[in-house]
Structure 1
Amino acid sequence: MNADPTLELSGAGVRRFTRRATAERADTSWLTLGGDVLSALTTAAVVVAVFGGAFASLRERIAARPETGSAVLPGELTALVAAVLVTAAVVALLSRLGPVSATPATAAWWLPLPAGRRGLLRGELRKVGLVAVVAAVVVALPVVLAAPQAPSVPEVSVTVAGAALLALAVVGGLVVLQAGGRTGWVAPVTGALATVVVVVPAVGGTLVDGWDWVPSAPDVPLPLLIGVPAVLAVAGLVAADRVSDRLAAGALRERGTAVFVASASALSLDTRELGRALGTPVHPPRRQRSWSWVKEPWQAVVAGDLAVFSRSPWRWGQLAIGTALPVLAARTRGLGEVPGLVAVAVVIGWGLAAVALGEPSRRAHGSPAADRAMPLSSQDVVRARAIVPLAGMALVCGVSAGVVGLGWEWAVLGVLTAPAWAGAAVRGGYRPELDWSGPVLSSPMGAVPTSVGVTLVRGLDLGVLGTIPFIVALLLGEAPQLLQGIALVVAAGLGALAVGTAQRRSS
């Protein structure tokens, strides 16, 4: 170490000394590091090439199919909606986890030092900026490639570069808000924005016969198109660096712990623990409710589920997005002509709604004391817990399917599919924890239990199976009564199976 204490107790000096100490004990050479970088760049280039070829092939297939009268939304608009949806999710995630945080090791070794916090946290700011740039590239690239006209290389480069610079500007703004303790509103606002952005085009594409407006990039000079985002990015990062010394140690430690838990859960594919780390808060009620209709113990379970669900505003947004996603796909030119793509949107949307309605089951699985205090058997508690998801999924599936097919018979088919997704919501909420006591598998992310695949799809598997009759109707272009009867039998059987397996897990 350098003998000058002022250098060693500066943030840059501490980070420099840590890097030197780590390098001295590392067994990785520069040749190995260069090979890893080259491998990462090669992988990224292959992914871009594969995506580009897939989008070009899909564009040709869509152009060869005849247009349907119900698909009125331009593909550019839907691609922009998808980009806004993913961007809102990333911004909400960054606001909830930081964006600047201190890992447990950083909080234990660096924060207590009498060194400038700005220099200590500068490395964390760089990491967050790099993550934001990668996320921006991942979001912007499909949007550019989804354009009806094949984009040129300069157009792709300018768009991706502009998105990356804007992502850096957003990170800087979030750090400034974090320093002032004002990030609490970011996640609710981005969630509301995502809901509006998905629902409004879906409703407009259903009510309006034709859609004349097509989003297009403004015709501005190239230096200005890159210069404005660059100025915003520089200003945001400079402002973030200047206010980083105001970040409280307690908040940095708390968010760093959340980041550590979320990272470990993502690498081990433990979605339950990941949901706990990123879970939305349950707000206290604004007014007292009498619940005068509660007379029986099972009604108390239903009332508790309604209370938990109603106090999570984001869950209502999930229901709205889950209802609108299939409609948005069916009303988009190109997507609406391919029943397979609409079916994928149906599974994603209804699965998202089922995840939202499974929140009470997940909380009950994590804290079973209240259920065990009820004068009900565990089987009766789980049956009562399926009532709210059944009612919610009947509404979501009925409205979504009816608007997708533009007919009451489609709405009936969607309602008949709801029991399978309701059972999937309860089954997924009571799914077991990962079992680390058995054998494990080696994966690129590390060791994972051999049963991780079964745990990940538990609940979703039966929901997808219950949607098969509706997918068949999409392929046929109609929803006959025979198919409705088959859907009722299949969904009822799968729903009963899902609740039964959840009962055994609960007991």
Structure 2
Amino acid sequence: MARGAAEWSGAAVRRFTRRATAARADTSWLTRAGDALSALTSAGVFVAVCGGTVSSLREEIAARPAAGAAVLPGGLTAAAVALALGAGLVALFARLGPVSATPAAAAWWLPLPACRRSLLRGELGRAVGLAVAVALTVGVPAVLAWTRTLPGVLAGLAAAGLLAALGVGLLVVRQAGDGARWVPAAAGTVTALAVAGPAATGCLIAAVGGRLPRVPGWSSPAVTVGVLVGLLAATVVGLLVADRRLDRLPAASLRASGETAQYATASVFSLDTRELGRALRTTVRRPRQSLTWRWVRAPWQAVVAGDLAVLARSPWRWGQLLAGAALPVLAARTEGLAEVPVVVAVAVVLGWGAAATALGEPGRRAAASPAADRALPLRAAQVVWARAIVPVAVLVVVCGLSALLVGQGTGAPVAWLALGAAAAPAWAGAALRAAYRPDLDWSGPVLSSPMGAVPTGVGTTLVRGPDAGVLGTAPVALALLLGAAPWWLVGAQLAWSLALGALAVGTAQPHD
């Protein structure tokens, strides 16, 4: 390193790294061009599929009579879902940095006597590019639900990309300041309120028999261009400020974020959703005061108390429960979606599945660290059965209230409440079955996939748990198709759910 001080710039270090990587790489420019063409083709197919799905859904909605309890316009619901997904992406990028350094880069890049700002500029560019790509992918269905004109679609996607880039810039500014630990919690709150707020509003309006006033769209091109220009200016300013703050990022924070990002990336490419959840999971807060469990007398009660403590100290999980209960209600109160029972049934599966995933957190922690459970004077099967008590109790409330509001206006509120509560055992069993599923077996044969090499049993592992929940919701889907919840269906739902829940808990045994 005696070539002079000019070689110690961050740009020179990054250029040297790129050249060394290219010299040892097995891929050529032709291969990279082919990969880029394949990615563009996949993006085009995705847009075409989304457009065709939205168009066919619009035609099916137009052919059906309007639902009386659907009072929310489709544009409002699309905006609420887009806001919820955007807040979730903000939480994800805040958890990953958004600027980070891999362990290798932290080992030999950061200690170099080079400008850290120019060293990390490439990481900032990659974070912005990834955020824009994800925002465009997520924004395509929402924009197509809002408008079908080409200028409107392009303007909506441009706004989504600019907002994503601006969000990354603001996160970097916070990361360089006093940290962004509060950002995931705030983003989670926005996500839950974005789903629950419109759902509650729609239920209140349907109860009083009112209608929401129509919000006029931005039909003027001048207004649309002005908004986009303002977003562009704010994005440029935000990225410039973020670029100037790169040299203030501490090495410890960059290293920790890089390890998390590497862990999450490896989990995604191996299709291991449980490891991905472990990489991105939130920490359990320590209580401000000690909790006393005077009612704990037996070992199984200690298991229940531990599960309650984990959930009580995880505010993120309570927001997940709220959003999971409100998502089916939002679909049932939205004009256009309420007329298609299949769409509402899909929302029921997604919402109740999210609630079950939140309640499976104690089981996932116990599966990762089984020492505490093995110290109890209980057999492994007894511990799992005791761990099913809290999910069943909470899901009875969540699914029951959700189904009650979904069936608003049908004239049988008690039947819908009972129908939703009867589905709780199946989803509780699904939560435990997913929490205790075995790890991927990398010792056997592997398959080649677009994500890379994956074990042959990865498909079975991915559906282990959700399969019980989806099957257990079949009677609810039938009630949505019928437009009513007869009591014979409630009884069938309870018997079917208990059988599936018992089977799921019985097969959800801890493994060594």
Q: Give your verdict on TM over 0.5.
A: yes
Cα distance in 1 for residues equivalent to 2:422 and 2:506 = 19
Cα distance in 2 for residues equivalent to 1:401 and 1:442 = 42
Cα distance in 1 for residues equivalent to 2:42 and 2:433 = 37
Cα distance in 1 for residues equivalent to 2:511 and 2:441 = 16
SS, match of residue 120 in structure 2:
helix
Cα distance in 1 for residues equivalent to 2:197 and 2:49 = 32
SS, match of residue 447 in structure 1:
strand
Once the two structures are superposed, residues 434-457 of structure 1 have per-residue CA deviations (whole angstroms, 9 ceiling, x without a partner) of 111111111011111111111111
1:458 equivalenced with 2:457 (yes/no): no
Report if the CA contact (8 A) 1:326-1:345 is conserved: yes
Once the two structures are superposed, residues 181-203 of structure 1 have per-residue CA deviations (whole angstroms, 9 ceiling, x without a partner) of 32011111111111111111111
Moved more, 102-111 or 344-353: 102-111
Once the two structures are superposed, residues 375-404 of structure 1 have per-residue CA deviations (whole angstroms, 9 ceiling, x without a partner) of 212121111110000001111111111111
Cα distance in 2 for residues equivalent to 1:30 and 1:470 = 53
Counterpart for residue 119 of structure 2: 120
1:131 equivalenced with 2:130 (yes/no): yes
Counterpart for residue 196 of structure 1: 193
Report if the CA contact (8 A) 2:176-2:245 is conserved: yes
Q: Could you tell me which of 431, 438, 447 is aligned with 2:437?
A: 431
Report if the CA contact (8 A) 1:137-1:164 is conserved: yes
Q: Could you tell me which of 484, 489, 496 is aligned with 1:490?
A: 496
Q: Could you tell me which of 250, 271, 288 is aligned with 1:286?
A: 288
Counterpart for residue 186 of structure 1: 183
The Cα of 1:222 is off from its aligned counterpart by: 4.2
Question: Match for 2:65: what amino acid?
Answer: P
Alignment map for 1:343-422 (pairs within 5 Å): 343-406=345-408, 407-422=413-428
Question: Match for 1:49: what amino acid?
Answer: A
1:302 equivalenced with 2:304 (yes/no): yes
Moved more, 214-223 or 107-116: 214-223
Question: Match for 1:308: what amino acid?
Answer: V
Question: Match for 2:160: what amino acid?
Answer: A
Question: Match for 2:469: what amino acid?
Answer: G
**Counterparts in 2 of 1:13 and 1:215: CA distance versus 1, 3 Å:** farther
Cα distance in 1 for residues equivalent to 2:86 and 2:92 = 10
Report if the CA contact (8 A) 1:382-1:502 is conserved: yes
The Cα of 1:213 is off from its aligned counterpart by: 3.4
Once the two structures are superposed, residues 438-483 of structure 1 have per-residue CA deviations (whole angstroms, 9 ceiling, x without a partner) of 1111101111111111111111111111111111111111111221
The Cα of 1:210 is off from its aligned counterpart by: 3.1
**Unaligned stretches of 5+ residues in structure 1:** none
Counterpart for residue 478 of structure 1: 484
Report if the CA contact (8 A) 1:166-1:232 is conserved: no
Cα distance in 2 for residues equivalent to 1:379 and 1:24 = 56
The Cα of 1:155 is off from its aligned counterpart by: 1.7
Report if the CA contact (8 A) 1:378-1:506 is conserved: no
Counterpart for residue 323 of structure 2: 321
1:145 equivalenced with 2:144 (yes/no): yes
Question: Match for 1:189: what amino acid?
Answer: A
TM-score for both structures, normalised by structure 1: 0.96
Cα distance in 2 for residues equivalent to 1:78 and 1:297 = 46
Question: Match for 1:295: what amino acid?
Answer: R
The Cα of 1:288 is off from its aligned counterpart by: 2.1
**Counterparts in 2 of 1:403 and 1:102: CA distance versus 1, 3 Å:** same
Cα distance in 1 for residues equivalent to 2:447 and 2:139 = 34
Once the two structures are superposed, residues 236-268 of structure 1 have per-residue CA deviations (whole angstroms, 9 ceiling, x without a partner) of 111111010111111111110100000000110
Cα distance in 2 for residues equivalent to 1:166 and 1:488 = 46
Counterpart for residue 500 of structure 1: 506
Cα distance in 1 for residues equivalent to 2:197 and 2:105 = 44
The Cα of 1:332 is off from its aligned counterpart by: 0.6
**Unaligned stretches of 5+ residues in structure 2:** none
Report if the CA contact (8 A) 2:438-2:511 is conserved: no
1:11 equivalenced with 2:17 (yes/no): no
Counterpart for residue 175 of structure 1: 172
Question: Match for 1:474: what amino acid?
Answer: L
SS, match of residue 309 in structure 2:
helix
SS, match of residue 448 in structure 1:
strand
1:269 equivalenced with 2:268 (yes/no): no
Cα distance in 2 for residues equivalent to 1:216 and 1:438 = 59
Cα distance in 2 for residues equivalent to 1:336 and 1:389 = 29
SS, match of residue 221 in structure 1:
helix
Counterpart for residue 206 of structure 1: 203
Report if the CA contact (8 A) 2:446-2:454 is conserved: yes
1:158 equivalenced with 2:155 (yes/no): yes
Cα distance in 1 for residues equivalent to 2:171 and 2:68 = 44
Question: Match for 1:419: what amino acid?
Answer: P
Cα distance in 2 for residues equivalent to 1:214 and 1:120 = 50
Moved more, 306-315 or 63-72: 63-72
Identical aligned residues as a percent: 60
Counterpart for residue 311 of structure 1: 313
The Cα of 1:120 is off from its aligned counterpart by: 0.6
1:234 equivalenced with 2:233 (yes/no): no
Cα distance in 2 for residues equivalent to 1:42 and 1:344 = 28
Moved more, 44-53 or 7-16: 44-53
Counterpart for residue 76 of structure 1: 75
Cα distance in 1 for residues equivalent to 2:356 and 2:329 = 17
Report if the CA contact (8 A) 1:76-1:215 is conserved: no
The Cα of 1:217 is off from its aligned counterpart by: 4.5
1:96 equivalenced with 2:92 (yes/no): no
TM-score for both structures, normalised by structure 2: 0.95
Cα distance in 1 for residues equivalent to 2:113 and 2:398 = 56
**Counterparts in 2 of 1:171 and 1:463: CA distance versus 1, 3 Å:** same
SS, match of residue 66 in structure 2:
coil
Counterpart for residue 64 of structure 1: 63
Q: RMSD of the TM alignment (CA)?
A: 1.5
Once the two structures are superposed, residues 474-494 of structure 1 have per-residue CA deviations (whole angstroms, 9 ceiling, x without a partner) of 111111122112111111111
The Cα of 1:371 is off from its aligned counterpart by: 0.9
